[in-house]
Structure 1
Amino acid sequence: MSLQTLKETLTRCTTQQQLQPSSSSSTLRDFGSRFPIHRKPPKSSLAQQFRLLQHPDDPPFLPHTFLSQQQQHVQLEEQEEEDQEPETKRVKFSSAKSSQFQFDHTGPFEPLLLSSDGEFPIVQVPASINCRLLEHQRLGVKFLYDLYKKNHGGILGDDMGLGKTIQTIAFLAAIFGKEGESVLSEKQVEKRDPVLIICPSSVIHNWESEFSKWSNFSVSIYHGANRDLIYDKLEANGVEVLITSFDTYRIHGNSSLSNIHWNIVIIDEAHRLKNEKSKLYKACLEIKTPRRYGLTGTVMQNKILELFNLFDLVAPGSLGTREHFREFYDEPLKHGQRSTAPDRFFQIANKRKQHLVVVLNKFMLRRTKEETIGHLMMGKEDNIVFCAMSDLQKRVYRRMIQLPDIQCLINKDRPCSCGSPLTQVECCKRIVPDGAMWPYLHKDNPDGCDSCPFCLVLPCLVKLQQISNHLELIKPNPKDDPEKQVKDAKFAAAVYGPDIDLVGGSMQNESFMGLSDAEHCGKMRALEKLLLSWFSHGDKVLLFSYSARMLDILEKFIIRKGYCFSRLDGSTPTNLRQSLVDDFNSSPSKQVFLISTRAGGLGLNLVSANRVVIFDPNWNPAQDLQAQDRSFRYGQRRHVVVFRLLAAGSLEELVYSRQIYKQQLSNIAVSGKMEKRYFEGVQDCKEFTGELFGICNLFRDLSDKLFTSEIVELHETRKKDGLKTEHEKIKMSEETGLSESDSETRLCDESTGASTSKPDIEFEDLGIVYAHRNEDIVNSRPAIQGQLSTDGAPSSDSLSNMSLVHQRKKPDCVPKKQKIPLIDERKRAQFSLLAKSMGMDELAFSKWLLSATPVEREKVLIDYNKKKKKLKG
């Protein structure tokens, strides 16, 4: 057959099919052109995907991502195959819908009306966007539009992972009349001033990508070498949305972009503007726009005054003047939170807190994951684990404290030994020529600097944190200049002392076996046993560290143990980061993801991991919380367990205590919560430095103390002593649902931290001296005793509120052979009876709890109580 004959044959076949279509096929073809139908994969392939996604011990259900993305296609395929296997298909998908992950995030295909009745022109979110929004996102869009109508700015303060970017794009699409049936004419739309988005450079392309997915804006990026071309396009009204980075706007945009009148300015990660003295803050103040909107999941990170700075930028004058805010809100709230503050101070702080929340809510919308998508997720458990430092670490830590540099700081306020009425820091001890660090810092100025000796504070803190994490970190870094390497080698030799041979000398250790050995690192010893337990259950782990050198050591440790891993830090090219994330999420063989806390960036979705380890804490609690959210976000289908490792008796305990202080202040000022009062210290108040603030507290030797444990127990003791009247006891029993005697018993248990059953894994075996759950310490709600287990399974008789009791090992008053029990034996027995009533053992019942809905848990309790009544009857 010739080629021409073949072409004619094919043409006739095609023409014949077009001339004789059936009505059903034409209807299906028209439907398919508008809604493309993906071919269903073979059953064996689908089953294999489920086996890869599903934990072997989890109850069977379909992945929610499959349901959410393919919902319409599945329904169509069910109709097509109804004659072949109707019952099988219906049973399979109905079981998924009845699970805890049942949800319909796809709304009706209709616009979301934002403008009020009679308002002209009509403003609405296009149906193509509205149908993909969750309910809390629709409320967020309405909140932004309400501020827009009033020519006000504001803050969208949702938790990370709740879709602040999507809500912003939906809001802008409504304002610009994109893809909707708005009565705005094209001419009217073109006259609108452009939108400026300022964000971190790491998420510029993420914003551009989201705009292309959700709408059809004319988006340009003012970043890099093509800035001048983009500016020309902007002047020619060819840009609707301009995206730039913080640094680009601070350096270049302030001189050119500040002259343009912007319709709206969106500031992503707005907490970057917390410092009113920074150049970036001042540059953003000069932007010509009536409306500035900030997007941030951490409105306040360190100080209450950061709230004022942020709101004074987006909504000027909303909180009054700076001095008024300081006197009316800042000082009362801080002093009211002091543990021994008079009741009068506490009452004033409570009134000011309520007033502040009312004002903030006018310009801020703040939602948490628990409030919005908590029913779609399995929950998160944030454990704080205090690991015992090795004996070698303790000796090196004490030598560091005894260095002349630190002793000069500790004794700064003592009278000078020369007989002068001045203090040491004002007289003879202002400089430290015999120190291990001071001579290098002042090599060009033997008389010191204007801030001596306080210029030593930050370098000394860094060294103490390095010793707390790993002794190798204080050795010279080959990437530094030779002179600094010599200085670091001398310092390392001074603090290693007679133990220098045990750490392989004062120069960097090149031995793989030496670096990967956990013998002299308390945290790595605990991590070693935790990883072994987790991987035996098929868990995947995110391992965070602030230091790239610590990641190098952990990488060697992971290789030595034979675990498969991925790594992402500051040296990872930006264009490769997403592929690393996708590979980790899709590959069952990848067990650990090593991530730098600083270089992790934003928008990294690592929901395949259900265990998070933060190896070293950060002074800013938002950094640690953001790291946790890499795993605990929309799309996570397993219970997430977080382990924050701290070196017991080191500076890290003080770092964590300040985290508690900052988190509680944030909850008080932003959310209006009543928090427990642990600390005597008041931030930025020299009169009340307490146990948290001041140089002397920073360099205290805590190696023979349980600093955090003692503070928590002191609070519980005060709480117990405070219940003096029968009226207060009755009130507590009504709030907790316990009898008066049970309330007293609970107070006693909470104050001592003791219980009477044995844990599955002893703390001594893990090298852990103390542990608790962060939410039980920070939040004011009463803790319910539970059990810390490496697999994260709950073991409390409460089926809806599972938390961890404060636990500590008391070496001075408890014999070594005696084990500290973690849970009341009576509760353990009741839990065992519940498991038997379900026909399960305790382990299987614990795992069932993780996937059960609140309704299912309640039903188990009702059935169990009915059986008990029948047996008694």
Structure 2
Amino acid sequence: MANNENTEEAIIIDSSDDDLEVTHYATPTASNRLSGAKHGTNAPVKSEPSRTLLSGSSSAIKIQPLDSDEEDANDGELAYKKFKERKSLKRKQTAAATRKAKMPRGDPIVGRIKQEKPTARPKRPLKQWGEVPSEDELMENTLPGYLKIRRSQFDRKYEHLKDHGLKLPPTYENVDFSDDERLEELHERPVFPINTRKQEYKDIELPYSMGIIPAPIAQWLRQYQVEGVAFLHELFVYQKGGVLGDDMGLGKTIQVIAFLTAAYGKTGDERDAKRMRKMRRSDDSTWYPRTLIVCPGTLISNWKEEFARWGWWHVESYHGENKDLVLDAAKSGRVEILITTYTTYMNNKDAVNMIEWDCVIADECHKIKERKSGTTQSMNEINALCRIGLTGTAIQNKYEELWTLLNWTNPGVLGPVSTWKAQISEPLKIGQSHDATLSELSRARRTAKKLVENLLPQFFIRRMKSLIADQLPKKIDRVVFCPLTETQAEAYENFLDSDIVDYIKTSTEPCECRSGRKSGWCCRRFIPDRDPPNWQSYVFPAINVLQKLSNHLAILIPQGVDPKEKQGKDRDYLELALPDQWEDLYRSRDSIVNYANPEFCGKWKVLRKLLKWWHSNGDKVLIFSHSVRLLKMLQMLFHHTSYNVSYLDGSMSLDDRAKAVDEFNADSRQFVFLISTKAGGIGLNITSANKVVVVDPNWNPSYDLQAQDRAYRIGQLRDVEVFRLISAGTIEEIVYARQIYKQQQANIGYNASSERRYFKGVQEKKDQKGEIFGLKNFFGYQNTNIVLRDIVNRTNVAESRAGVQVVDIDLKADEEGYDYDRPMKSEDEAMSQLAAMICGEDDKKDQKPSANLPTPHKHDPVQAILASAGVEYTHLNNEVIGSSRVEEDLSRRAELAPNDTTGDRQVFMSSQHFSQPAGEPVRFKYHPPEDVIRRQFCSMARRFGYTDATEFALVVEGMTQAQRRACLDKWYRERREVLLSADQNTPKEEWTKDEYVPEETDVKDEWIKDEKGPEESQDL
């Protein structure tokens, strides 16, 4: 592919192998201080001759297979050329076909009129609902011309001038400050109380970018913040882009201000207020930085306050009535920092881009995570080479969002999104499935490590909130699965039985006419007596109805203030849900009686009892919901109680929101603060509250996490308890399960974490919907079952038994001594290995008195309140997210496994009979009958000192996930001898009868001896 000097540098992601290795070819700089640049890609450097997806003259970063060859690279180049020229080739083929059709054909018959055949255009296949369209835009659009010119000019300037061509801090040697004679008298910023923790008072040099953090600011920075400042300033000097992805509360705003202080060459004292004016008067040709900050509107005032606190700056906001005057001032060099919102920039991008910005900072840059959105497309045109993004949630829904952010910071460097999907997204998603094979798990773990260790450090830096754990109290994030009321459950099931849901659920099934097409695109495309008739029009409304029914039944009742058309639609859905009651409810649609009806909301039964308890203890509560109507209903209810309530939603002005927050924080009598999740999820500091309730889960986990952080942040003096209310068995369980899936994705993308593999489904895979993807899962109801409890408990039990699945992986084997190629020839050998694993050295060290068993929680009043409200299951969110010892061992062994036929075997088998072909490895699935489970549980209760199984069951409900796993570990270790005796004494032919392990069937008498029998199990 021909080189173009105006194009950006590029990264090769070769598709021939999944092992990614980053190679950077660079020439040293002239300056000794800059020659050791910490982030090699930040310096404009020349690349060695190589083939790249996007070639460039400045530098090339190659992500290549560890043992790839030139032929693979050539294949990738040809594939890319073919992809890029696809439209041109198609036009040529069409033109050739047209010419051929018009050519006179040889015909012996004189006088025959030549027929012109029109070129036939192939029919487009009918797309299925939810199908991702084919992406002609896989390669991002090229940069605007003005940015190409700026990049070319900067690169040429650096090539000729070396370090003098970089964006080094301005020099003030020829600028006279009258204040120089009274330096000791000058005021400095910031100013904090004397007892505030601080570092030594001295300047901090940034050796890789020739910048200085002045002592007045440096003394207040922690070490990780200094590293963040160095990262940002290096990007600025070399005019590159990057993302500061620190957790919320780690001071991203402070790091940006400290970096800008170094970039502008400021000293942190009163002289900084005069620098811009002095430089402008000294010489019009003298360079002085210009910075644009784009952020959500709620954060403009926060940025202004922080700039005023940390120095002397000329800051203006490009927003509102006088924005044109502000922009004129910025053009003339009378503004140092210009702040605007994403919407204002998008509506006025041409005017804003008339200024050649030296740096653009996108706060909460996950706003541009969707590459096809209008906001993202507008931000791609921003007139700056140094683009810095700030976000604590770079990956919210899928891995492609990270590509979008990085591509915005460094356009074209990562190559096309199609390559990112093939080499990063797909391996990571497939390997995270519960049904992943050995090779898929291995590839996923290795890809994650290459991503985190090789690629991201050049553009992305992230630190966790654990760095400031010493400044924060404890936080408990509890997920409460609330049962529906009888009326709710009836309405929910009625709606699921409706014709609308039936057409949606069966749309992907083969059509009964045997046409080979799916019914939703054949005979069942239209729903009779519905307007509009096509079933696709009802998918999202139906999902919305289920969410309303899961939350509060009154939300489904039409409002008198709504337009007639909306009232009609809501009335139709209400009739489907409650055919016997809808008329009465519609007549009283605006009555407060509907809001207070306890049969309309199972969550209200739980929340009401919790509020009573918290009010008696002097707590303050934040209640978040993405349903503004529910918040207003609660507000109306609270006005009829003794609770003082505050309110905030998106319809309020920024000033009114700030006033509501200040009043709640200042007034100790204010008990409840009702907040819209989206409007109040960012930018608010409400540390006076210590209880947070998230009434309904959001599809995007970052919203719920940010809502919690309104109270859990620096300045909070009390422990914070978070309660997420989930309606059990409903679509809300799917929503929350998707949150877990997405949080695990983020942890993998950030840290290469070996996350526990709960779910069988794979995102955006039509043939692997599993438990949480696909329309059928959305439109199901588990009336007496809690889906997530079963999934989590299944994983806990599987990992608690050291030999849950017997595969060609030995978790306890020595890495160098394990023979992967040796299959187990019989069930006897498999059982011998299982027994050896259970009696390993690791267990011998852990044989301690029973007194060391995990001590269950003492009586918990909150747990008692939840139980009294009918709650059967809760867990802590942070214990579900993350890795485990078993998963880490499995991942480690998978990475070391050879690439042979064993790689096609699943790490966990969903079901497997004991009978196996000769030479095949044996796997066991532990699934004993329910009566055996009950008897074992009774035996467990006595073993742990409880005379009543019901009492023990309540204690288990109050345990954390870690405590439950520890109890299971202890329990099964004490049963090893029984298992070993089963291996030695039980005839093999009996093992093939049922699909559960011998110790739970053939020797169950030994397990339950001295027990009372079935009568005792009735206590459960």
Query: Which of the five TM-score ranges fits, normalised by the shorter chain?
Result: 0.7 to 0.9
Residue of structure 2 equivalent to 1:175: 263
Distance 2:609 2:957 in 1: 27
On the 8 A contact 1:109/1:127 being kept in 2, the answer is yes
Superposition deviation, residue 32 in structure 1:
14
**2:212 matches 1:124:** yes
Q: Given the alignment, which residue of 238, 248, 258 partners 2:344?
A: 248
Superposition deviation, residue 125 in structure 1:
2.2
Q: More displaced, 556-565 or 504-513?
A: 504-513
Q: Given the alignment, which residue of 354, 357, 375 partners 1:262?
A: 357
On the 8 A contact 1:490/1:506 being kept in 2, the answer is no
Q: Given the alignment, which residue of 306, 310, 325 partners 1:210?
A: 306
Q: Given the alignment, which residue of 200, 225, 229 partners 2:321?
A: 225
On the 8 A contact 1:759/1:822 being kept in 2, the answer is no
Q: Given the alignment, which residue of 366, 369, 377 partners 2:472?
A: 377
Q: Given the alignment, which residue of 155, 169, 177 partners 2:243?
A: 155
Counterparts in 2 of 1:342 and 1:579: CA distance versus 1, 3 Å: same
On the 8 A contact 1:154/1:363 being kept in 2, the answer is yes
Counterparts in 2 of 1:391 and 1:399: CA distance versus 1, 3 Å: same
**2:379 matches 1:284:** yes
Q: Given the alignment, which residue of 193, 201, 207 partners 1:70?
A: 193
The SS at the match of 1:110 is coil
Mapping of residues 547-626 of structure 1, within 5 Å = 547-600=627-680, 602-626=682-706
Counterparts in 2 of 1:132 and 1:756: CA distance versus 1, 3 Å: closer
Superposition deviation, residue 731 in structure 1:
9.1
Distance 1:553 1:738 in 2: 59
Superposition deviation, residue 251 in structure 1:
1.4
Distance 1:339 1:743 in 2: 35
Residue of structure 2 equivalent to 1:480: 562
On the 8 A contact 2:560/2:590 being kept in 1, the answer is no
On the 8 A contact 1:105/1:133 being kept in 2, the answer is no
Superposition deviation, residue 140 in structure 1:
1.8
Residues 183-202 of structure 1: CA deviation (Å, up to 9, x unaligned)? 99835896224111111122
Q: Identity over the aligned pairs, expressed in percent?
A: 36
Counterparts in 2 of 1:824 and 1:433: CA distance versus 1, 3 Å: closer
Q: Given the alignment, which residue of 714, 727, 732 partners 2:812?
A: 727
Residue of structure 2 equivalent to 1:113: 205
Superposition deviation, residue 817 in structure 1:
10
Q: Give 2:692's aligned amino acid.
A: V
On the 8 A contact 1:755/1:822 being kept in 2, the answer is no
The SS at the match of 2:539 is helix
On the 8 A contact 2:554/2:600 being kept in 1, the answer is no
Please identify the structure whose Cα radius of gyration is greater.
Answer: 2
Residue of structure 2 equivalent to 1:83: none
The SS at the match of 2:692 is strand
The SS at the match of 2:623 is strand
On the 8 A contact 1:565/1:594 being kept in 2, the answer is yes
The SS at the match of 2:392 is coil
On the 8 A contact 2:557/2:585 being kept in 1, the answer is no
Q: Give 2:440's aligned amino acid.
A: F
Superposition deviation, residue 765 in structure 1:
0.4
Superposition deviation, residue 517 in structure 1:
3.9
Residue of structure 1 equivalent to 2:17: none
**2:961 matches 1:818:** no
Counterparts in 2 of 1:510 and 1:456: CA distance versus 1, 3 Å: closer
Distance 1:663 1:733 in 2: 36
Distance 1:180 1:300 in 2: 35
Counterparts in 2 of 1:434 and 1:702: CA distance versus 1, 3 Å: farther
Q: Give 1:239's aligned amino acid.
A: V
On the 8 A contact 2:681/2:707 being kept in 1, the answer is no
Q: Give 2:217's aligned amino acid.
A: I
Task: Count the aligned residue pairs.
Answer: 686
- Relative to its length, the structure with more helix (as a share) is 1
On the 8 A contact 1:755/1:821 being kept in 2, the answer is no
**2:429 matches 1:334:** yes
On the 8 A contact 1:756/1:825 being kept in 2, the answer is no
On the 8 A contact 2:726/2:733 being kept in 1, the answer is yes
Distance 1:825 1:549 in 2: 34
On the 8 A contact 1:776/1:782 being kept in 2, the answer is no
Distance 2:520 2:591 in 1: 43
Superposition deviation, residue 311 in structure 1:
0.6
On the 8 A contact 1:733/1:739 being kept in 2, the answer is no
Distance 1:341 1:168 in 2: 42
Distance 2:793 2:401 in 1: 31
List gaps (5 residues or longer) in structure 1.
Answer: 1-29, 37-67, 73-103, 443-447, 784-808, 832-873
On the 8 A contact 1:509/1:515 being kept in 2, the answer is no
Q: Give 1:766's aligned amino acid.
A: A
Counterparts in 2 of 1:694 and 1:581: CA distance versus 1, 3 Å: same
Counterparts in 2 of 1:471 and 1:615: CA distance versus 1, 3 Å: same
Superposition deviation, residue 758 in structure 1:
6.4
Q: Given the alignment, which residue of 429, 444, 455 partners 2:537?
A: 455
Residue of structure 1 equivalent to 2:154: none
Residue of structure 2 equivalent to 1:429: 524
Superposition deviation, residue 591 in structure 1:
1.3
Distance 1:681 1:767 in 2: 31
Q: More displaced, 732-741 or 168-177?
A: 732-741
Distance 1:531 1:736 in 2: 47
The SS at the match of 1:665 is helix
The SS at the match of 2:679 is coil
Residue of structure 2 equivalent to 1:133: 221
Superposition deviation, residue 351 in structure 1:
0.7
On the 8 A contact 1:682/1:688 being kept in 2, the answer is yes
Distance 2:564 2:216 in 1: 60
Superposition deviation, residue 782 in structure 1:
6.6
Q: Give 1:623's aligned amino acid.
A: Y
Superposition deviation, residue 741 in structure 1:
5.9
Residues 270-317 of structure 1: CA deviation (Å, up to 9, x unaligned)? 111111111221222222322100000101000011111111111234
Residues 188-225 of structure 1: CA deviation (Å, up to 9, x unaligned)? 89622411111112212222222222222222222223
Q: Give 1:145's aligned amino acid.
A: H
Superposition deviation, residue 694 in structure 1:
1.2
Superposition deviation, residue 345 in structure 1:
1.0
On the 8 A contact 2:430/2:440 being kept in 1, the answer is yes
Counterparts in 2 of 1:289 and 1:650: CA distance versus 1, 3 Å: same
The SS at the match of 2:194 is helix
Counterparts in 2 of 1:645 and 1:413: CA distance versus 1, 3 Å: same
On the 8 A contact 2:873/2:957 being kept in 1, the answer is no
On the 8 A contact 1:733/1:743 being kept in 2, the answer is no
Residues 360-403 of structure 1: CA deviation (Å, up to 9, x unaligned)? 12221211211x21111112111111001101000000011011
Residues 630-685 of structure 1: CA deviation (Å, up to 9, x unaligned)? 01111111111110000001100000011111110110011211100011100011
Superposition deviation, residue 415 in structure 1:
4.1
Counterparts in 2 of 1:330 and 1:392: CA distance versus 1, 3 Å: same
Superposition deviation, residue 717 in structure 1:
3.4
Q: Given the alignment, which residue of 773, 778, 786 partners 2:876?
A: 773
List gaps (5 residues or longer) in structure 2.
Answer: 1-181, 814-833, 887-929, 939-947, 964-1020
On the 8 A contact 2:559/2:589 being kept in 1, the answer is no
On the 8 A contact 2:201/2:216 being kept in 1, the answer is yes
The SS at the match of 2:660 is helix
**2:518 matches 1:518:** no
Q: Over the residues paired in the alignment, what is the CA RMSD in angstroms?
A: 3.7
Distance 1:421 1:317 in 2: 42
Distance 1:774 1:430 in 2: 41
Superposition deviation, residue 744 in structure 1:
13
Superposition deviation, residue 605 in structure 1:
0.5
Superposition deviation, residue 179 in structure 1:
3.4
Counterparts in 2 of 1:236 and 1:603: CA distance versus 1, 3 Å: same
